Amino acid sequence: MRVGVATPSSRDAPGVLVMIHGPGLDGFIEAQLDDLARHGYVAAAPDLFHRQPDDGADPLTRVGRLLDQEILEDADSARRHLRSLPDASVGPLAVLGFCMGGRGAYLLAGARPRWWSAAAVFYGGNILVPWGDGPSPFDLTGRIRCPMIGIFGADDSNPSPDDVNRIAANLTRHDISHDFHTYAGAGHAFLNFTNADRHRPEQARDAWSKVLAFLDRHLRVT
């Protein structure tokens, strides 16, 4: 499995596992890895599509082939890889993801609760439904043990504003610390600068700055 990795100048650093979006381990994800490294984090992103044939399928088809159990297996492997990097000593970990990766971050927060000091969900669609056998990410909410930040677009349909409200209410019901932000004039994938139709630069800058501040609060060891 290919894993994108970016490391900071400091050897001792917190880590961030980045879950990819539908287009894959592409220029946008690589840019986010690099920016996390510039801010002092060791960052890694597993290529969740590595099991699939190279048949030129569109992103929606590739996403539709994914199974939660395989996502968890790949995240397990990527976390071990992150911990074993020879040029980094990785401290506390966060999980962060975009689009389907936002769903993956929520899934991992519930399925692997002991791993994380923080979780960041960027407009994760399909949180309410399982992919394959087993519980949905939503069903695992009660197992989450770390604080979570959520970034959403008011014009998104998956997750819709109603979905976001339902997810937030479930986190509140389980007394899980969360900080959700919904941006007017933005839809799905509005951070993705490689998609001119979706990208909203002003909202993207504000959202990313909020997430960096959130990671700084929960991952820095003082």
Q: Residue 165: what pLDDT?
A: 98
Q: What is the dihedral sign for C-alpha 197, 200, 201, 205? A: negative
Nearest to 33 by CA among 55, 61, 4, 59: 4
Q: Which two tokens stand for residue 76?
A: 């397990």
Per cent of the chain over pLDDT 70 is 99
SS3 assignment, position 176: coil
Q: Which two tokens stand for residue 221?
A: 């060891």
Q: Which phi and psi angles does 164 have, rounded to 5°?
A: -60, -45
**Residues 118-161 pLDDT 10s:** 999 999 999 999 999 999 999 999 999 999 999 999 999 999 99
Q: Residue 222: what pLDDT?
A: 47
| Dist CA 54 CA 209 (whole Å) | 36
Average pLDDT over residues 88-104: 93
| Dist CA 90 CA 102 (whole Å) | 22
pTM of the predicted model as reported, rounded to 2 decimal places? 0.96
**Residues 181-213 pLDDT 10s:** 999 999 999 999 999 999 999 999 999 999 999
Please list the alpha-helical segments (H only) found in the chain: 27-38, 59-64, 68-83, 100-111, 161-173, 201-219
Is residue 221 scored above 90 in pLDDT?
no
Average pLDDT over residues 87-95: 86
Pairing relation of β-strands 12-19 and 89-98? parallel
Average pLDDT over residues 95-121: 98
